């Protein structure tokens, strides 16, 4: 995938950027001079150490510049908002509207503070994390308004980084303090409090009203999750039955909760989590931009100033990083480790740590994600032994209830909140479902929905011999239809019937030379129009290199061909092509390439109603290019019908 046009693509949750039309990038010129190539390679040799040092220096300077402000009663320092050079100052005390502020003993309702959801009573609580440190955690608790003394309700718990009173990821210009509105959609979409549930939002260490140094899914944060579950289960208004809920970061903490095997945790709902954190930062030895971006983003959230009318304890806790300036650079250091087997990353390999766990799980996974790619999802599901339900399909980083500006569901399927509450009612209240929800609902690349008992369903598998070839690892872009020395293609025969590639493809290369490789899969129509639907990269050296591609569920139509590209890591405008590679300038010779595929016959689908995910059409438009057909060298096997 070398050329793309993204037209005003909107990303939800405030963590994406709009990508507009851009001019085509220059292509590889086989006749380029050596000096020109060296200049190009020089500009692309962006080393991780240099990036991290630059980022760390920026963080240290930023933090040091805040010490004077930290001495004031209400911190006013404003960090740079992620991906933006400036941020809005919080309101001054004089500008704060009068609104009641909750304490542990004083509940506040919507009538007293309009940031409190209707039907809720808000209280705030502080309690120590259970790791023996001095970390103090903060929780915003929303109970059903009018809950009688001694009455108990089950708890929906979310633990994460986005519950700061001044904003989730940047300052949100609130007129006064109050609980985060991060899951007001859940509250309103389910009538949560009238259904007899509490919502508890706990700030992980380093965020919101909690102290401590942030520790992205490390031992500290995992202890915080355990502590939050135990605390919520032990409160006098709690039945002791906990269900976790989240999207993205606080979906990851739901997976952590499952892995901790806490008796009080009865169910987890996780939308678009990351299943193995190492793979979100490193791809088989090749670093991604997330090696800097993730730590920078959460460092900035950690130092967001909170509101002047927050209580003194909350504001003091929120200023923890200002008084402990090593927290932020230390958070960035661990990402340097390229070894997936290191202690740092193994602790954060949630798929591996899920072995033998059995907390009932309802999750979503977009196959065209680039914030939380479909990597290690299959491993997690195989290791998890409890009940599982999933929504899977060709969407981006969305919630199950998200809609486009014109009202279309981003996933294309109605009933997210109905299924969520049926799931919670069953596992937290013991109420049998009135609807027989399927275990898995899956939308493939055709936009059609189906049900199945598990995922993936592998009706037959194949290991395809792709042969060999060679390429120059120069890191330069190449025009799709032109011959270029930095990649080669392998084509299948056109298909006689539809075939679905599902699960996690795996590639194995026997090669000579040192450098990088990108393997990309294309769905090619008879007219040569090709959609790149899967890609992965790796560091290669002499010998065998084997690695997984991303999980997928892509159907090739009859008459289409599967084309495999093997070559250098070419730059592109694609948001999921954010690798920070260092081309070796060596020629890599591949003597034997093999592709292992899990295959499924679409003719056997159990089709259900549902619309196409809007992102699927955006993706197809952006990722379609024209390839020049070549002589086929392999045939995809098909199951006899």
Whether 137 shows a pLDDT value over 90: the answer reads: yes
pLDDT classification of 89: cutoffs 50, 70, 90:
low
Closest CA to 549 of 388, 367, 397, 381: 367
Provide the b/e sequence for 572-588 (b: ≥16 CB within 10 Å): bbbbbbbbbbbbbebeb
Complete DSSP assignment for 18-57: -----PPPPPP-TT--HHHHHHHHHHH---HHHHHHHHHH
Looking at 2.60.120, 1.10.3470, 3.30.70, 3.40.50, the CATH number of the domain 34-48+456-626 comes to 2.60.120
Strands 286-287 and 440-443: what pairing? unpaired
* Token digits of residue 258: 């499952």
Contact in structure between 460 and 2 (CB atoms under 8 Å):
no
Give the pLDDT score at 526. 96
Give the pLDDT score at 575. 79
Give the pLDDT score at 44. 35
CA dihedral 280, 284, 286, 287 (to 10 degrees): 20
Contact in structure between 285 and 518 (CB atoms under 8 Å):
no
Give the pLDDT score at 67. 34
Closest CA to 229 of 360, 127, 314, 350: 127
- Give the architecture-level CATH label for domain 52-350: 3-Layer(aba) Sandwich (3.40)
Closest CA to 163 of 11, 302, 320: 302
* Token digits of residue 285: 């030895």
Q: What does the domain layout of the chain look like in residue ranges?
A: 34-48+456-626, 52-350
Tokens 């999207």 correspond to what residue?
A: 247
Complete DSSP assignment for 50-78: HHHHHHHHHHHHHHHTTHHHHTSSS----
Whether 595 shows a pLDDT value over 80: the answer reads: yes
Closest CA to 62 of 321, 335, 332: 321
Q: Name the percent of the chain lying above pLDDT 70.
A: 84
Whether 62 shows a pLDDT value over 60: the answer reads: no
Give the pLDDT score at 96. 55
Tokens 């609807």 correspond to what residue?
A: 435
pLDDT digits (tens, 9 = 90+) for 412-449: 999 999 999 999 999 999 999 999 999 999 999 999 99
Widest CA span in the chain: 81
Complete DSSP assignment for 565-599: EEES----S-TT--B------PEEEEEEEEEEEEE
């Amino acid at each position: 995938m070398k050329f793309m046009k993204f037209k005003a693509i909107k990303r939800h949750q405030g963590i994406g950027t709009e990508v507009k039309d851009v001019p085509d990038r220059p292509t590889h010129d086989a006749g380029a001079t050596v000096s020109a190539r060296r200049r190009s390679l020089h500009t692309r040799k962006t080393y991780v150490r240099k990036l991290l040092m630059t980022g760390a220096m920026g963080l240290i300077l930023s933090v040091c510049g805040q010490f004077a402000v930290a001495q004031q009663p209400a911190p006013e320092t404003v960090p740079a908002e992620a991906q933006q050079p400036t941020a809005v100052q919080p309101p001054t005390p004089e500008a704060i509207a009068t609104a009641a502020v909750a304490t542990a003993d004083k509940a506040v309702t919507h009538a007293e503070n309009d940031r409190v959801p209707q039907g809720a009573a808000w209280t705030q609580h502080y309690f120590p994390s259970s790791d023996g440190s001095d970390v103090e955690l903060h929780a915003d608790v929303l109970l059903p308004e009018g809950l009688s003394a001694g009455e108990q309700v089950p708890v929906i718990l979310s633990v994460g980084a986005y519950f700061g009173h001044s904003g989730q990821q940047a300052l949100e210009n609130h007129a006064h303090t109050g609980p985060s509105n991060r899951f007001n959609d859940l509250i309103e979409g389910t009538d949560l409090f009238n259904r007899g549930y509490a919502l508890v939002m706990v700030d992980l260490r380093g965020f919101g009203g909690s102290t401590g140094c942030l520790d992205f899914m490390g031992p500290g944060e995992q202890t915080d999750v355990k502590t939050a579950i135990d605390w919520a289960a032990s409160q006098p208004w709690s039945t002791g039955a906990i269900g976790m809920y989240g999207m993205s970061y606080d979906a990851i903490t739901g997976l952590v909760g499952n892995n901790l095997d806490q008796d009080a945790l009865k169910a987890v709902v996780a939308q678009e989590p990351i299943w193995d954190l190492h793979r979100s930062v490193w791809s088989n030895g090749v670093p991604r931009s997330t090696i800097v971006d993730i730590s920078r983003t959460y460092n900035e959230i950690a130092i967001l100033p909170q509101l002047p009318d927050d209580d003194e304890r909350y504001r003091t806790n929120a200023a923890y990083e200002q008084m402990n300036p090593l927290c932020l650079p230390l958070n960035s250091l661990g990402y340097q480790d390229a070894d997936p087997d290191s202690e740092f990353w193994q602790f954060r390999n949630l798929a591996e740590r899920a072995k033998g766990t059995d907390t009932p799980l309802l999750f979503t996974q977009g196959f065209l994600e680039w914030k939380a790619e479909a990597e290690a999802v299959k491993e997690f599901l195989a290791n998890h032994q409890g009940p599982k339900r999933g929504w899977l399909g060709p969407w981006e980083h969305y919630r199950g209830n998200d809609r486009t500006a014109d009202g279309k569901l981003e996933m294309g399927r109605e009933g997210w909140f109905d299924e969520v509450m049926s799931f919670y009612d069953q596992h937290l209240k013991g109420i049998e479902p009135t609807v027989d929800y399927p275990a898995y609902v899956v939308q493939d690349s055709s936009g059609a929905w189906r049900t199945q008992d598990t995922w993936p369903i592998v009706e037959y598998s194949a290991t395809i011999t792709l042969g060999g070839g060679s390429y120059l690892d120069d890191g330069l872009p190449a025009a799709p239809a032109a011959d270029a020395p930095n990649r080669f293609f392998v084509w299948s025969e056109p298909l006689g019937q539809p075939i679905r590639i599902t699960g996690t493809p795996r590639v194995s290369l026997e090669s000579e030379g040192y450098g990088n490789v990108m393997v990309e899969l294309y769905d090619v129509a008879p007219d040569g129009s090709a959609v790149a639907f899967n890609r992965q990269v790796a560091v290669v050296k002499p010998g065998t290199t084997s690695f997984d591609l991303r999980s997928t569920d892509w159907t090739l139509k009859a008459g289409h061909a599967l084309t495999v590209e093997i070559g250098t890591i070419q730059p592109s405008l694609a948001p999921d092509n954010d690798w920070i590679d260092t081309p070796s300038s060596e020629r890599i010779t591949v003597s034997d390439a093999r592709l292992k595929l899990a295959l499924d016959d679409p003719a056997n689908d159990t089709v259900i109603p549902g619309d196409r995910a809007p992102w699927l059409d955006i993706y197809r438009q952006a990722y379609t290019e024209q390839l020049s057909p070549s002589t086929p060298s392999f045939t995809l096997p098909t199951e006899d019908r």
